Structures are given as C-alpha cells and as structure tokens.
Amino acid sequence: MRRLLSPLIALVVLLAAAAPSAARTWSVERDGTGDYTVIQDAVDAAASGDTILIGPGRFDEGRLVTTPGWTDYVRVLVEQEELILIGSGEHNTIIGPEAPYDYSQGNNKGIEAGPWWGNQRLVVRDIGFENMGFAIRTHPTPEVLVANCRFSGNYNSVFFAEGGVSRIQNCYFEKMPLGGEQLLFYESDVVVVSDCIFQLDKAPFLVQEAVKFQATNDGLVEDCTFHNGKYGLGLVVQSSVQVNRCSFFGQEMVGLYADGGSSFNMQDGRFEDQTIAFYFWNMGEALIERTVITDVREAAFRFNEGGGNFTVRESVLARGPQYTVAQYFPCYTGEEEFAHIDMRNNDWGTTDPDSIEAWISTCSFIVDYEPFVGQETPVEDSSLGSFKSMFR
C-alpha cells in the first residue's frame, strides 16, 4: 500500500491558494444591509479570488441549470476560478428548503462547482445544508476545502468525482433519506476527512452509509466518529485509504468494509455494537493496529474471496455468538492461493488456544494467531508489555 504523504502536501498548497492577497469581499444579508440578499447574485458579481460572507437566514433561491447530461435546480453555481464562501455559522446560515427531502425533488443541488464550470479552487465554511438531493457536488473536482459545516436531511451531502484534492474538516452529518450516502468520493485523487461526526438513523430497513470511497487513489480519514446506519466506512474498486483514530458505534451491518481489491491501514480504531466490525470481499492489503473491537452480533471479521496481505496486531478482538473470524460459505474452491491472515499478538479474550481455534471458521484462509496476549511463550514480542497492561 502506498504511503499517504500526498494529502498533507496537497492540503498546504490548497490552503495557500485559497487566500489571495488582492481580492474583494462581498456580503449577503437577508435584511438588505449587505451588497446582496441572494447568494447567487453575489456569486455572479464576484471575480476570481473574491470572498462572499453570508449572513444568517435560510437561502433556497436558485435556478434550473442544464448541461449535456442533466437539468437540475441549483442554488449556488460557482464559475469563478477561485472563490471563498463563508457563512455566519452552521446553524445560522442555511442553504436548502425547510421541508424534508423527498424523491420527487430529484437531484436538486446546494452548491455546484468544479473545472467543468471553470472553477479550480473552492472554500466553503460555516454553513448548514439541509434537505437537498446533493448539498455540495463537484464533477470533476477542483481543489476544495469544506470546514465547520452541518449537513442534515440530504440524500447525498457531498459528492466529489474525478480527480481533485479535497478536504472535509470538522463537519457534522445527520438525518438522511433511505439509500443515500453522506460522503461519496468517486475516482478522486486525494481526499482528507478529519474531525467529522456522522449520526445516521438506527433502523435496520434503512440502507444508509456514512462514507464511501470508490476508485480513490489516496484517502485519509482521521479522528472521525460514525454512529448507526447500515454501513460506516466503505472502500470499493481498488481504493486506498488510511484510517486513524476513528470510532464506529451501532452500525446495523458493517463498520468498515473493503471490496474490489481495495486496501487500507487502520490505527487506533474502536468498534462497538456491530453486526460485523470488518467485512472483506476480494480484499487487497490491510493492516489493523491497536484497534479495540467489542460487542459484535455475528463476528469481528468476515471474509470472502481474495488473497491480499492481511495483518491484525496489538488489538482486542471480540467474539460473536460463535466466531471471531468467519468465512462465508460455501467456500470458493478455485485454484487461487490460500491466503495467510496474520492475527498474531492480539487479545482474543482468552488464554486458551483451543478456544481461539474454535472461534475461527475458514476453508480457504489460514489464520495465524500465536502468540497471543496471555500466552506464555518465549517468542512473544517484547513490545507487547505495555499493550498487555491495558487489559489487567
């Protein structure tokens, strides 16, 4: 798996570019005390590099925008090469209708931007987005920063596709209709999601997903919390993602899944009240370190076909009613090589190797689990001393 240094470098470039030295500031105020009362009017007047300050109130004005591929109602269309949009707070400045979203509204949008429109750099801060088909959409994606925003009741909160360098920082996501995703990155180059909270519904019939990476080159998710929903974090079509210090609570099906040869590294994670903490189908490479898994209804790990390198170490592994590690049956019996899953140096909740062996059910994967925490063995890694002390 490649090293994820590029998001940090790209972010420095993005932030530097987003602060032009000679630019005008425009104001949008509902009471008429600003330059404009409608956001789009200010955007139309602005030049590249300008900043638009948006006062309190709900802003739902927009217009139909037509492209060769779609016609949708758009509230803010950004066509400047560079633009900064700053609200007066995520609970004060609201873009979107007051009524809840329903499917008859189609794919109406809050902010539409990106190189197709001539936009190369976009900053959005301190705004609430409510009850829309897409709150922010870019296709293709410019360099974009979304910070200190709130997303509520949107079918898709953020959709970034095809290239770009994007960061979602310190945002709150809640309430979504059936079948949506809060964040979807499709064929993105560099993505950083940090310090975000995802609060989905806790209902088994709602197919809700917090974050999905699809064919994304370099992703970084750190210091985020995922509550409820059907799925927490998904990686599909050879995505590559680093996950640091994230917590997953109450997902109805899976906390984190990787499909289609996707790869990830996870450090210092936490999973509670899951049906399955990790699910892998045709997995790529994975490294999980210092992660605590508790209270699973089926298993901590579920595997299907695929044979990438997979390592779990210095972690606490919960057992479901029967298994900690399970492979779906019937097993694939092709000529693929048997995969070794390295789960040595973990706490399985027991010091009995026979119990651990009974909690592993596979037919085309081989799981290495010795040494494990509590085992008396001369080959135990010396680095496990402080790790073992956590569980005394």
Ordered by where they begin, the domains of the chain are 6-267 (2.160.20.10)
| Torsion sign over Cα 222, 228, 229, 230 | positive
Helix (H, G, I), strand (E, B) or coil at 181: strand
Q: What is the pLDDT of residues 170-203, one digit of tens each?
A: 999 999 887 788 999 999 999 999 999 999 998 7
Name the average pLDDT for the chain: 88
371: preceding bond cis by omega (within 30 degrees): yes
User: Do residues 73 and 62 touch, judged by C-beta distance below 8 A?
Assistant: yes
In whole angstroms, how far apart are CA 327 and each of 106, 242, 281? 40, 24, 10
In this prediction, residue 281 carries a pLDDT of 86
Q: What is the pLDDT of residues 105-144, one digit of tens each?
A: 889 999 999 999 999 999 999 999 999 999 999 989 999 9
- Rounded distance, CA 69 to CA 51, Å? 30
- Rounded distance, CA 7 to CA 262, Å? 18
User: Do residues 62 and 75 touch, judged by C-beta distance below 8 A?
Assistant: yes
Query: For the residues 353-368, what does the mean pLDDT come to?
Result: 90
pLDDT band of residue 5 (cuts 50, 70, 90) is: very low
User: Do residues 158 and 151 touch, judged by C-beta distance below 8 A?
Assistant: yes
- Rounded distance, CA 157 to CA 137, Å? 8
Q: What is the pLDDT of residues 227-286, one digit of tens each?
A: 999 999 999 999 999 999 999 999 999 999 999 889 999 999 999 999 999 999 887 889
| Torsion sign over Cα 36, 41, 46, 48 | positive
- Rounded distance, CA 242 to CA 161, Å? 19
Which one has a higher pLDDT value, 103 or 155? 155
Q: How many helices (H) and strands (E) does the chain have?
A: 4, 35
At 295, list the tokens. 């209270």
- Rounded distance, CA 229 to CA 1, Å? 29
In whole angstroms, how far apart are CA 127 and each of 41, 48, 88, 92? 18, 21, 7, 7
In this prediction, residue 13 carries a pLDDT of 44
Give residues with Cβ within 8 angstroms of 358, minimum separation 6. Answer: none
DSSP 36-63: BSSHHHHHHHPPTTEEEEE-SEEE---E
Please return the burial class of 102, using the count of CB atoms within 10 Å of its CB with bins 0-12, 13-18 and 19+.
Answer: exposed
User: Do residues 339 and 317 touch, judged by C-beta distance below 8 A?
Assistant: no
